[in-house]
Amino acid sequence: MATHRNCDGHLRRDFIQLGLRGAMGMGLGMCDLLRLKAAAENAGGGKPVNCIMIWLDGGPSHFETFDPKPDAPADIRGVFKTVPTKVAGVHFSEPVTKLAGVFDKFTVVRSICHKDPNHGGGNHYMMTGAPTPVPVGCGAFVTFHPSMGSMVSHTRGVRGGIPPYMATPSNTRSGGPNFLGGEHAPFVVSGYPNSDAFRVSDVVLPGGIAEGRMQGRRALRGALDRMKRFNDRVTEDPAVEFDRFYEQGFDLVTSARAQEAFDIGKEDVKVRERYGRTDMGQRFLLARRLVEVGVSWVTVNWGGWDHHGGLADAYKGDMLKTLDQGVAALIEDLAERGMLETTLVLLLGEFGRTPKINPGGGRDHWPHAMSVLMAGAGIPGGQIVGATDARGYYAAEDVYRPEDFAASVYTKMGIDPHQKLETAVGRPVSLVNDGRLIRELFV
Amino acid sequence: MIRFSRLPVYAVGLCLGGAGLGDAVAGLVAEPAELRLRVGERVSFLITEKGADGFERDVTEVVAVKMAGVAGLEGVGAVRAGQVGEGVMEVDLEGQRLAVPVVVGPAAERVPTFAGDVLPVLGKAGCSAAACHARADGQNGFRLSVFSFDPKSDYHQIVRGARGRRVFPSDPGESLLLLKASGMVPHEGGERLAKESDGWKVLRDWIGTGMVYAGEREPTLERLEVIPAERRYRKGSVQRLLVRAHYGDGTVRDVTALSGFYSNDKQVATVSEDGRVVVEQVSGQAVVVARYMGKVGGAQVVVPAERELGAERYEGLVVRNFIDRLAYGRFRALGLLPSGECSDAEFLRRASLDVLGILPTAEEARQFLADGDPEKRRKAVARLLEHPAYADHWAAKFADLFRPNPDRVGVKGVFILDQWLRESFRRNQRWDEFVREVVLAQGNTHRFGPAVVYRDRREPAELTTMFSQLFLGVRLDCAKCHHHPNEKWSQEDFYRMAAFFAPLRQKGGGISAPISGGHETFWGGGGGGVLNHPVTGERMMPQPPDGPAAVVGEGQDPREALVAWMLDPGNPFFAKAIANRVWSHFFGKGIVDPVDDFRLSNPATHPELLEALAEHLRAEKYDLKALMRTIMESELYQLSSEPNETNAGDVRSFSRYYRRRMGAEMMADAVSDVTGVPSEYPGLPAGGRAVQAWTYKIESRTMDAFGRPNSSSDCPCERNMKPAISQALHLMNADGLQAKLTSTAEGATVQRLAGGGMTPREIVSELYLICYGRLPVEEETAVAAAQFGEGAEARRRAVEDVLWALINSAEFVFNH
């Protein structure tokens, strides 16, 4: 196969680039760094960028979404037609028709790949930018390295009592903080936001407690909490830090703006309809509301994308409708509200799927090619980055690795991907090991 | 570079708390007392003034020095030999004078070598740092090994790499290596070795003399000596360090200029790249580590408080056992006085939380407070240690270190190991037996808990890291890939330890077990399974770190030899490691902290005490409860958490009790207990408590908020006990907690108190006993009782709100 390339193989163009960079003595020349730094700062017009990451656990098919292969044989092409997008000459697959209609607002990278065909390892690699040091199984939930959300929490800290990193409805497999420490685990918003009874817990007053009663409790606590505090910093009195969190916590539950954001019932009915009246659609909407009120990173965890059989039926069904409608609505809504410049939107899973449809009508694990949607934070709209070969086997042009993806996301978030961190045993590790930026995202 | 043939005599052996340099009269002292050097060589010296106040002061930078004839001064605190002969260095400090003999011998006829001379220069210049040429892919095509762990490869890179263009033997000074290093041609790393500097000359001479890899009889570097080894300092003072390398043939070399330096506590002391220590404004102890060619040496920096406290301040202190005696000795040296004794209520709450992980009940608290027996604390300790809740609490603590990822070993394996841990603590298994069972584990992972450890840590290297950290308190992890940056551990040490596990055999379904996957069987012995050094390829024979080579008989399991070494009474790590771990459980910090990181650059705050605790544990045949009893009976354990005027800044020496927030399981159970409404946990039998949860997958928002460890995270980690915003939010607002307050179940605290006939004041007293193990003071009673309004509903609300306020207060959240 002429275009058989995988993550080991750099293309000729890459060699030239590497050679040039080599001559400058580092991964990137100084000019590049300065330019990219400026680009990151400008991404949000000076404001910090927040991120909504929609995680499709199991691995969505690139063929039936953003990288259709209409000219490939039928056992690769699949049953779906292609649809034109907002950009002339670019086609998506039928299940993402609505996204095709807003393609002017996002980039698709078709050429990210790695070599871990297991869910556990693939999750870890894409979620942290680091491969697992030992092989891990398919059912595995593992962390050896901090997730991007945890690192954002670690960098930004808590502002206004709002946990900086949230996940809904559950944490992802490798979305934990690892050595950054438990306080950087995501705050999990569980439950079913499409239900009228839905409430975000812990950040809002408990059911049955009105604000007046909470104020009374607050005053009572103030009067009864008489354990002496030692404010001198050298004493390292943990109760002093705890008080600070209580102050922030009280501010949060009494902040009308924050409380309204947590109450999805306050959203305009039309907007709720637009995202789709499903729990998942409403989670995308909730993510927007959380980011609006100051959460730095929201991961929407959506499992069940591991279609080893019956893929066509699944992609014809509600799952894709929910995804297509919800994500398109999210991107448009963010753009209309002027939030897209400061909100990075990511849509991906741990890998793509095998080109040949198996006898069960499914596609299996395929890390050699995957499509990743990236929008906002200065990322150009209507752009396709990279390409797979004619049959969708391998990322073949402008090949990027998970490290490159993570380095790019961190840079967009204003975090230096090359910084050194210390593990629990004091060992220095790079946040991202030799990640190159996906240049097309920084123009 | 030249070696001394004889060791000059130094004034060493300074002792803590004493007058310093013996009892000699005040005056100036030179170190070395006599300068012996060879032509061209540079040697550092120190001039120390012994003050009448018992402190020594480094005056090297302020004295006037006159040097005549054979050698010349070079910078501050160093001389360079000019010609063969003898002379005198005259030192003057405002009239105090000292004459230091200087003896210069002829330049040595010695060819510089790569291993002995070049590598130190490259190390000091930072070339072989991970940020420069020791990056995984090198830098600009030139790749060195991190901290020179692979010197042969480094030699090859320099001499033959890039087709030999890095060296130019016919005109050594024009070698690319030197042109780059000196910045004569553009070098991203800038000027690392100035032209004509000592380091530059070493490289030039080495290139010019045939680029020898190693000398024929290169003496081995045996140890580093740092001068002064231990000293007491005034805040703000400065001390230059001397580093001397001692070789196997008896020679000594001044390697100050080639050593790297590192301070373990930068609040107490900082150190510059050339070994100049600046003592900061905080009293305490620090150690400055010098490292040179894989060896390390330390200088203890002790900074007492300004105000010396008289001996009489220590005379009246309560000494209950050896712990107090040894701790007070350190306190005196540091100018610390212990805080006062904690109250009875604080003691009972503290001891119950530490031994059992549960709060004393209101009834237990009431009885204890009323008890007039002067021995009641001792008796309470004995009672707590026999309480059935002991086993779960301690098993859960050790589960943090052992509990494997269920996705790696299968759910059943996690459960089997968990049950084994609980059973072990239920019967108070001696620690040596515990370790023996774990290290020698063999058998089926569905039947025998410790075998699951081997299923989890599948590679000899993983077992090496885990066991050395858990059982020896030594982090060998760095040495897996390169020499430990601040310690003596080398890759040889790591893989010799790993070799103990190489012959281990396995049968059955391996990794990637599905959730209820199959089992595996492990067994040792029977020979086979060798382990080779990853760099040299040499076969590694089993040998413990700092221990003798193991003698393993034909067909014998080498792990037997490892355990025998661990349990040998002379083992320098084993007893201290567990004594320190148990100590940290009761005090919130280890005497060495982190508890699994014993090293020269991370010294014990009370070395004598740690030694004595280890000895005690050995004498008690590793009965952990015996050690716990001794710890809890000490006055030190019974100190208040409120600082006094001397110890507000003490966060390492245990002169006051350190507040700690309750752990995840403890908090979840405490909230259930004080509200009288148990939580239900999936995966546990009815009535199961949080501390009995055997996997992190058992759902609990409370435990998540309070930082229970997630065993999908890959490390045997101490858990994170920092307060977090999610904890405050959870206690304030959690629906689960609110439901416990509003519960109308029979045993629910609010239901019981609001419904009964107690007066508001009685209810408040009861709530204080339940939550804090004490009675409220009048002011508290008044505030809380004032919440009670007319009518049943208002009464109930008041009880709910007071209980809420007590749970949300620091006195509840913290063990204090």
Lowest model confidence (mean pLDDT) among A288-302, B183-197, B219-233: B183-197
Is the pLDDT at B282 greater than 90? The verdict is no
Q: Over 50: is that where the pLDDT of B514 sits?
A: no
Mutation target vs A (from B336, B652, B712, B722; most A CBs, 10 A cutoff): B712
Q: Supply the pLDDT for residue B529.
A: 79
Question: Contact A134/B704, CB-based, under 8 Å?
Answer: no
Q: Is residue B313 part of a domain?
A: no
Mean pLDDT, range B667-682, rounded to an integer: 97
**Structural domain contains residue B443:** yes
Q: Percent of chain A beyond pLDDT 90?
A: 74
Mark which of B568, B591, B619 sits at the end of a domain.
B568
**Cβ B738–A188 below 8 Å, yes or no?**
no
pLDDT digits (tens, 9 = 90+) for A166-219: 999 999 989 988 889 888 989 999 999 999 999 998 999 998 899 899 999 999
Is B582 a domain residue? yes
pLDDT of residue B18: 34
Q: Are B380 and B517 in a shared domain? A: no
Q: From B516, B540, B568, give the residue that closes a domain.
A: B568
Name the residue ranges covered by the structural domains of chain A.
Answer: 12-196+263-441, 201-260
What's the average model confidence in pLDDT over B179-191? 85
pLDDT for B307 equals: 72
Query: What is the per-residue pLDDT across A98-107, written as a single tens digit (0 to 9) for each?
Result: 999 999 999 9
Cross-chain Cβ contact A234/B660 below 8 Å:
no
Q: Specify whether B413 is located in the same domain as B546.
A: yes
Q: Is residue B140 domain-shared with residue B93, that is, in the same domain? A: no
CA distances from B231 to A125, B227, B288, B732, B759 (A): 50, 10, 12, 50, 63
Same domain, B754 and B676: yes
Nearest to B511 among A137, A185, A220 (CB): A137
Residues B383, B395, single domain; the answer is no
Are B627 and B723 part of one and the same domain? no
Q: What is the dotted CATH code of the domain comprising A12-196+263-441? A: 3.40.720.10
Read off the pLDDT of residues A360-386 as tens digits, 9 standing for 90 and up.
Answer: 999 999 999 999 999 999 999 999 999
A12 vs B602: which has the higher pLDDT: B602
Structural domain count, chain B:
5
Taking residues B251-275, report their average pLDDT.
91
Within this chain, do residues B511 and B441 fall inside the same structural domain, yes or no? Answer: yes
**Does the beta carbon of A211 lie under 8 angstroms from any beta carbon of chain B?**
no
Domain assignment of residue B735, yes or no:
yes
Residue B330 lies in a domain: no
Q: Do both B723 and B779 map to the same domain?
A: yes
Could you say which of A25, A230, A242 has the minimum Cβ distance to residue B643?
A: A230
Q: What is the pLDDT of residue B417?
A: 96
* B655-688 residues labelled b (16+ CB within 10 A) or e (exposed): bbbbbbbbbbbbbbbbbbbbbbbbbebeeeeeeb
Q: Give percent of chain B above pLDDT 90.
A: 60
Distance in Å, alpha carbon of B611 to nearest chain A alpha carbon? 24
Q: Do B805 and A225 touch (CB under 8 A)?
A: yes
Structure tokens at B740: 């416990």
Task: With beta carbons under 8 A apart, name residues in chain B contacting A234.
Answer: 282, 648-649, 651
From B208, B240, B260, the end of a domain falls on: B208
For residues B167 and B162, what is the distance between their CA atoms, to the nearest angstrom? 10
Which tokens belong to A31?
A: 């000019």
The answer to whether residue B44 is domain-embedded is yes
Q: Do B123 and B98 reside in the same domain of the chain? A: no
Q: Do B724 and A143 touch (CB under 8 A)?
A: no
**Could you tell me if B730 and B782 lie in one domain?**
yes
Q: Quick one: pLDDT band at residue A300, thresholds 50, 70, 90? A: very high
Residues B241, B261 contacting (CB under 8 angstroms) = yes
pTM assigned to the model:
0.83
Enumerate the β-bridge partners of residue B427.
none
* pLDDT tens string B558-615: 999 999 999 999 999 999 999 999 999 999 999 999 899 898 888 899 999 999 999 9
- Candidates B140, B414, B645, B726, partner chain A, best to mutate (most A CBs within 10 A): B726
> Hey, are the CB atoms on A137 and B407 less than 8 Å from each other?
yes
On whether the CB atoms of residues A202 and A316 are closer than 8 A, the answer is no
Query: Is residue B57 domain-shared with residue B137, that is, in the same domain?
Result: no
Q: How many CB pairs under 8 A join A and B?
A: 226
Q: What is the pLDDT of residue B31?
A: 92
Q: Kindly list the residues from chain A whose CB atom is less than 8 angstroms away from the CB atom of residue B810.
A: 225, 227, 229, 239, 242-243
Beta partners for residue B301, in sequence order:
B231, B286
Which residues in chain B have their CB less than 8 angstroms from residue A18's CB? none
Please state the ipTM of this predicted complex. 0.82
Residue from the list B408, B469, B730 with its beta carbon closest to the beta carbon of A140: B408
SS (H, E, C) chain A: CCCCCCCCCCCHHHHHHHHHHHHHCCCCCHHHHHHHHHHHHHHCCCCCCEEEEEEECCCCCCCCCCCCCCCCCHHHHCCCCEEECCCCCCEEEHHHHHHHHCHHHEEEEEEECCCCCCHHHHHHHHHHCCCCCCCCCCCCCCECCCCHHHHHHHHHCCECCECCEEEECCCCCCCCCHHHCHHHCCEECCCCCCCCCCCCCCCCCCCCCCHHHHHHHHHHHHHHCCCCCCCCHHHCCHHHHHHHHHHHHHHHHHCHHHHHHHCHHHCCHHHHHHHCCCHHHHHHHHHHHHHHCCCCEEEEEECCCCCCECHHHHHHCHHHHHHHHHHHHHHHHHHHCCCHHHEEEEEECCCEECCCCCCCECCCEECCCEEEEEECCCCCCCEEECEECCCCCCEEECCECHHHHHHHHHHHCCCCCCCEEECCCCCEEECCCCCCCCHHHCC
Per-residue pLDDT of B439-450, as tens digits, reads 999 999 999 999
- Residue B649, min C-alpha distance to chain A (Å): 5
Q: What is the pLDDT of residues B468-501, one digit of tens each?
A: 999 999 988 888 888 887 788 888 999 999 999 9
CA distance A117 to chain B (A): 13
Please give the residue range of the domain that contains residue B98. Answer: 27-108+218-303
Query: Which of A349-358, B224-233, B611-620 is predicted least confidently?
Result: B224-233
In chain A, what percentage of residues exceed pLDDT 70?
89
- Answer yes or no: do B188 and A26 touch at CB < 8 A: yes
Asked whether residue B312 is domain-assigned, the answer is no
Same domain, B674 and B743: yes
Instruction: Report the residue of A425, A433, A434, A436 to disrupt the B interface, i.e. the one with the largest count of B CBs within 10 Å.
Output: A425
Minimum distance, in Å, between the CA of residue A108 and any CA atom of chain B: 30
Question: What is the average pLDDT across B705-728?
Answer: 77
Write down the mean pLDDT value for chain B: 89
- pLDDT score, position B358: 97
pLDDT in tens, A240-283: 989 989 998 998 998 888 899 999 999 999 999 999 999 999 99
Query: In the structure encoding, which two tokens stand for residue A52, read together?
Result: 């909504």
Nearest CA to CA, how far is A316 from chain B (Å)? 30
- Identify the pLDDT of residue B22: 39
Q: Read off the pLDDT of residues A390-430 as tens digits, 9 standing for 90 and up.
A: 999 999 999 999 999 999 999 999 999 999 998 877 778 89
Q: What is the pLDDT of residue B182?
A: 87
Half-sphere exposure of B173 (CA within 13 A, CB side): 5
